[in-house]
Amino acid sequence: MEHIIKRKAEALHCESIVLDTHCDTLTAMLDEGRPLAGCPGLGHLDLPRLRTGKINVQFFAAFIAPEFKSTAVRRVLELVDLFYREIESNNDVILHAKSMNDINKAITSGKIAAFLSVEGGEALAGSLGILRVLYRLGVRSITLTWNGRNELGAGAGEDCPGEGLTEFGIAVVREMNDLGLLVDVSHLSEQGFWDVLRTSRQPIIASHSNCRALCDHPRNLTDEQIKALAERGGVIGVTFVPDFLGGENTSVDHVLAHIEHVIAVGGPDCVGLGSDFDGTERLPLGLVDCSRLPVITMGLLERGYSENVIKKVLGGNFIRVMRQVIK
């Protein structure tokens, strides 16, 4: 029986659009001099392992770490430059996707569609003009804050009850709606989350967040937040970071439990995958790198989910939101 389920899972995974909304591989590549083509034994994500994991669409984050806050524009441009150079060097297997048509082109030609995102609104340096430039450079998603404060608002790591978006943050969300950028609330304070929900005319995403009901961490979403995001057509990318899953000694079962909880609270249309590969030192047992992503498909099948729901989790839900938001 297990052999039959495994074969069914492999077939289902291969015929699905598999999409991951967050990795920090660009930062790892820039800091460690690691090529996207791969270095055996290093990191969690590279081209050979993306292909083994049958990942069709991967978001690459240009992350503005706190130590680069004063030089955020320079840092984001260095990461964007690296992204462009790596895509050009490997254009036989990966392409820079800026639209839904680009996803179709990639899949048809057997390539991986790489989307560029920014993690940390510090990169905007308080300027809507820089936001528009980043859009022209191909950025299609922005995580408004990391854990601290910036010009857009307060992050989840701040002890700031009631502190949410600034006036500039509200203006950024509106401009992102106009441009066709995904508004990402992962890392944002709870009040900031509600401010975004009130401001955005489009569905929002949480690219890499989990359920606070299962793991009481400020980076995770409450059931109330999950319900509200789902009611507005948004999607949550369940992340593989052990600290947000339940602490030490986590496994694939913890990831599946968070997926199941999101479905139980918000329905099957509001959950996807947001690994945070290369953004954490540890990963759950059974998910050592992106090549192991098919174990998620296997686990969902074993838990009795339909093929339709599993396809939504693997990428279909995020594709729906992207089709609505990205112009």
Candidates 76, 82, 88; CA nearest to 123 is 76
Residues 6+ apart with CB under 8 A from 315: 16, 17, 18, 19, 56, 57, 272, 273
SS (H, E, C) the chain: CHHHHHHHHHHHHHHCCCEECCECHHHHHHHHCCCCCCCCCCCCCCHHHHHHCCCCEEEEEEECCHHHHHHHHHHHHHHHHHHHHHHHHCCCCEEECCCHHHHHHHHHCCCEEEEEEEECHHHHCCCHHHHHHHHHCCEEEEECCCCCCCCCECECCCCCCCCCECHHHHHHHHHHHHHCCEEECCCECHHHHHHHHHHCCCCCEECCCCECCCCCCCCCECHHHHHHHHHCCCEEEECCCHHHHCCCCCEHHHHHHHHHHHHHHHCCCCEEECCCECCCCCCCECCCCHHHCHHHHHHHHHCCCCHHHHHHHHHHHHHHHHHHHCC
Exposure class string for 187-202: b at 16+ Cβ within 10 A, else e: bbbbbbbbbbbebbeb
Taking only Cα atoms into account, the Rg of the chain, rounded to an integer number of angstroms, comes to 18
Measure the CA–CA gap between 99 and 258, rounded to whole angstroms: 29
pLDDT in tens, the chain (327 residues): 677 888 999 999 999 999 999 999 999 999 999 999 988 889 999 999 999 999 999 999 999 999 999 999 999 999 999 999 999 999 999 999 999 999 999 999 999 999 999 999 999 999 999 999 999 999 999 999 999 999 999 999 876 778 999 999 999 999 999 999 999 999 999 999 999 999 999 999 999 999 999 999 999 999 999 999 999 999 999 999 999 999 889 999 999 999 999 999 999 999 999 999 999 999 999 999 999 999 999 999 999 999 999 999 999 999 999 999 998
Measure the CA–CA gap between 239 and 186, rounded to whole angstroms: 10
Candidates 72, 60, 62; CA nearest to 36 is 60
First CA to last CA across the chain, in angstroms?
A: 45
Longest dimension (CA), the chain: 58
What is the set of domains in the chain, with CATH numbers?
2-325 (3.20.20.140)
Q: Phi, psi at residue 184, to the nearest 5°?
A: -110, 120
- The pTM for the full model equals 0.97
Predicted confidence (pLDDT) per residue in 168-184, tens digit: 999 999 999 999 999 99
Exposure class string for 45-56: b at 16+ Cβ within 10 A, else e: bbbebbbebbbb
